[in-house]
């Protein structure tokens, strides 16, 4: 596996790409905190406790329900303003990639930026 990971520099496990062409992880079960840190390093910099809290919430909701929770729910349940979450991640697309979740599809991606 490469030490630096971006969607332009595909990482491989057993010669199988981990990311699709948009930088989304194919298999969320392969996600680790170390992988999130590597993705964030190329997208944002280092991750804070606030980042990790939001990532954990998003991953939990997606893995239990199979869908991205509305950002208003994330903000309400975690006590963040929408602008604060956007300031942390720069948008939902980066959050989704760092959280190691699969490509949500073209329609959903249109709402993520």
Decide if 67 is inside a domain: yes
Q: 36-77 pLDDT, tens per residue?
A: 999 999 889 899 999 999 999 999 999 999 888 888 899 999
| 19, two tokens | 């990311």
Q: 98-110 pLDDT, tens per residue?
A: 999 998 888 777 7
47 is in which domain, residue-wise? 12-110
Beta bridge partners of residue 16, listed in sequence order: 13
Could you tell me which residues come within 8 angstroms of residue 89 by beta carbon, excluding any fewer than 6 positions away?
A: 44, 51, 54, 95, 98
The answer on pLDDT for 91 being more than 90 is no
Decide if 24 is inside a domain: yes
Decide if 74 is inside a domain: yes
Question: What mean pLDDT comes out for the span 86-90?
Answer: 92
DSSP character for 2?
A: -
Decide if 79 is inside a domain: yes
Q: Describe the crossing of helices 49-65 and 71-78 by its angle, rounded to 10 degrees.
A: 130
Number of domains forming the structure of the chain? 1
- Compute the mean pLDDT over every residue in the chain, rounded to the nearest whole number: 84
pLDDT range class, residue 12, cuts 50, 70, 90: very low
Decide if 3 is inside a domain: no
Beta bridge partners of residue 9, listed in sequence order: 6
């Amino acid at each position: 596996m490469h030490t630096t990971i971006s969607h332009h520099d595909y990482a491989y496990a057993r010669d199988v790409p981990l990311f699709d062409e948009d930088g989304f992880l194919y298999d969320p079960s392969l996600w680790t905190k170390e992988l999130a840190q590597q993705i964030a390093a190329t997208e944002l910099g280092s991750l804070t406790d606030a980042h990790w809290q939001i990532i954990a919430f998003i991953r939990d909701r997606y893995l239990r329900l199979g869908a991205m929770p509305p950002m208003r729910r994330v903000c309400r349940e975690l006590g963040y303003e929408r602008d604060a979450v956007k300031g942390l991640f720069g948008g939902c697309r980066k959050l989704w990639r760092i959280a190691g979740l699969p490509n949500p599809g073209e329609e959903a991606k249109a709402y993520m930026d």
